[in-house]
Amino acid sequence: MSMESRKSAYEALLERYKNLVVLQTATWLLRWDMRTMMPPAGVSLRSEQLALLERLSHRMATDPEVGRLLKEIMGHPGFESLGEVERRNVELIKKTYDEATALPEELVAETAKQRAVTVSVWEKAKAKRDYEPFKPELGKLLELRKKAAELLMEVKGTKTPYDALIDIYEPKMTAEKIDRVFGELKSGLVRLIDKCLSSEQPRIDFLHRAVPIEVQRRISRAIAEFVGYDTWSEKAWGRVDESEHPFTSGYYGDIRITTHYYEDAFYKSLFSVLHECGHALYDHNLPEEWRYQPVGEACSMGFHESQSRFVENIVGRSHEFWSYFYPKLREMVGVLDDVELQDFVRAINVVKPGKIRVDADEVTYGLHIIIRFELEKALFEDKVDVDELPQVWNERYEKYLGVEIQHPSEGVMQDIHWASGSYGYFPSYALGNIIGGQLLDVMQRELPDWGERVTAGSFAEVREWLRMHVHRYGNLYDPPRLIEVVTGSPLQVEPFLKYLEEKYSKLYGF
C-alpha cells in the first residue's frame, strides 16, 4: 500500500468515525430531553427511539468496511511511522470496533430500551420511596450488563467481567488496583473524619434558610459566568436546566448541564452547578482540531471527575473563592446578613457523615464511593442480588458512615447510575478526587498565586492552567500515562490526603 492509499484509508476511517460521533450526539440529546423536558407519557416512544439509534450506532461501529480499513492501515509496514495522533486515532477506533463487534446488535438494542424503561421507573419509584416496582427492572438491566461484561471480558482481555466494565470508564484500571488505592484512601479518610468529629462543630442552620427557586436560578447563572461556562453571549455553548439528578451532556459547542433546586437548601444547587461546570469546561476545551476524532474526547471518567471536583471543591469551597463571591451571594439571597464569611466557609465545608452522596463533604465523600464499588463488585461476582441490595447497602452505610437509612430513596435508589446501567462508573468519582489532589500539588508550584487571582474575581488563570495541563491532551494518552505526563508521578493518594489534612486542620483547628 502506497503512502497515498494509506492516507486515503485513514481519512475514510476518520470520516466513518465522525458519522458515528454525530449519531451518538443525537442519542445524547434525546437522553437529555428525557431527563429534562419530556412529558411522562413519552417514555414508551423514547425507549423505541433510543433502541433504534443504538442499533444504528452499533451497525456503524461494526461495519465490515471499518474492519477492512483498520486491517489495511495497521497491516502496512509504515504504520509505526505514523504521527502520534494518527496512530492513537487508529488504535482507539480499533478498540471501539473490537468491543462493538463483541456485542450482538440485539443485546445492544435491548439494553438501550431497558435503560430508558428502568430510568423512568426509577424516577417514579424514588419519588414514592418504594424499591419494589424498581427492583424487577433493575434486575433485567443488570442481567443485560452481565451478558455484555462477559463478552467484553474476552475482547478486552480482563480477568473478570466487572473489570471489563470498569475499563469502559477507566482504561487500564482493574478492581484489584482500585482495591489497593481505595484501601489507602479509606484509612486516611477515617483518621481525618475522627479528627473533625472530635473538634468543635460549626453552625450550619443558616444553610437551610428558605431561598426562592428563582433566586437560586440567578445564583446558577452567576456561578456559570464566573467559571466561564457561557450561557449568555451570542456564541453561547451552554445552558442550565433542571433534572432529578444533575448531569452534563454534550459535545464541544453544545454542552448542557442540569441541577436540582431545593428551596430550603440553596447550597445544593450552587455546588452541583460548580461541579457540572467543571465537566462542561473539559468537554468544551478539548482541542478543536481533534473534533470528531477519538483523540478529541476526554481521557477517562476519572479525569472528568477530577475536573468537576476541582472546580466544585478545591476552588468552589475555598476561602479564596468565597472572599470574592460571598458578598454577591449575600445580596442575592437576602437571608445571610447575620452570617460572617468565615462562618459560611466553615459551614459549607462541615464534615458530617450523611446518607446522600451528592450532598457529602470532601472528607466523607470517598466512603460513599467505596461502598458503591464494593457492592458493584459483589453484584458481578454474584455475592449479592437485587433482592438483597437495599439491606446490604443499609448495613454498609451504618458500618462505614454510622448513619441509618430510613427508606430506599435515601439509600440504594438515590443515584441514577445503576438505573441507567452505568456499572463500573462509580470508582471514577473517587479516582477523580485523587487525581485532583495531584493536579493541585502541581498547580500550587506552577501558579502559586492562583488563590489571589480567584479572590480578585478571576477564574481565568485556573481555567487556562487546567486547559493546558489536562484538556489539551484529550484522549491522546491512557489515564496512567496522562497522570505521569501532567504530574510526573503515577496515581498517588498522598497529595489528596495532604490537601484535605491541611485544609481541614485550619477549618477545625486541630
Tell me what pLDDT residue 81 has. 83
Residue 460 has pLDDT above 70, yes or no: yes
- What does the pLDDT average to over 494-507? 98
| 294, 269 Cβ separation under 8 angstroms | no
Domains observed in the chain: 3-157 (no CATH), 177-508 (1.10.1370.30)
- Catalytic site includes residue 276: yes
Give the separation between CA 223 and CA 311, rounded to whole angstroms.
11
Give the separation between CA 454 and CA 465, rounded to whole angstroms.
13
| 397, 139 Cβ separation under 8 angstroms | no
Give the separation between CA 327 and CA 316, rounded to whole angstroms.
15
Residue 1 has pLDDT above 70, yes or no: no
Residue 5 has pLDDT above 70, yes or no: no
Tell me the pLDDT band of 244, cut-offs 50, 70 and 90. Answer: confident
- Name the amino acid, one letter, at 51: A
- What does the pLDDT average to over 262-272? 96
Cell numbers for 299, please give them: 481521557
Give the separation between CA 123 and CA 245, rounded to whole angstroms.
10
Tell me what pLDDT residue 398 has. 98
User: How confident is the prediction for the chain on average, in pLDDT?
Assistant: 96
- Name the amino acid, one letter, at 457: G
Instruction: Give the least confident one: 77-91, 215-229, 323-337, 468-482.
Output: 77-91
**pLDDT tens digits, one per residue of 347-400:** 999 999 999 998 899 999 999 999 999 999 999 999 999 999 999 999 999 999
Catalytic choice (276, 312, 362, 374): 276
Burial class (CB in 10 A: 0-12, 13-18, 19+), 299: buried
Tell me what pLDDT residue 2 has. 55
Residue for cell digits 502520534?
Answer: 84
Taking CA 220 as the corner, what is the angle to CA 215 and CA 224, rounded to the nearest 5 degrees? Answer: 150
Q: Percent of the chain having pLDDT more than 70?
A: 99
Q: Percent of the chain having pLDDT more than 90?
A: 96
| 493, 501 Cβ separation under 8 angstroms | no
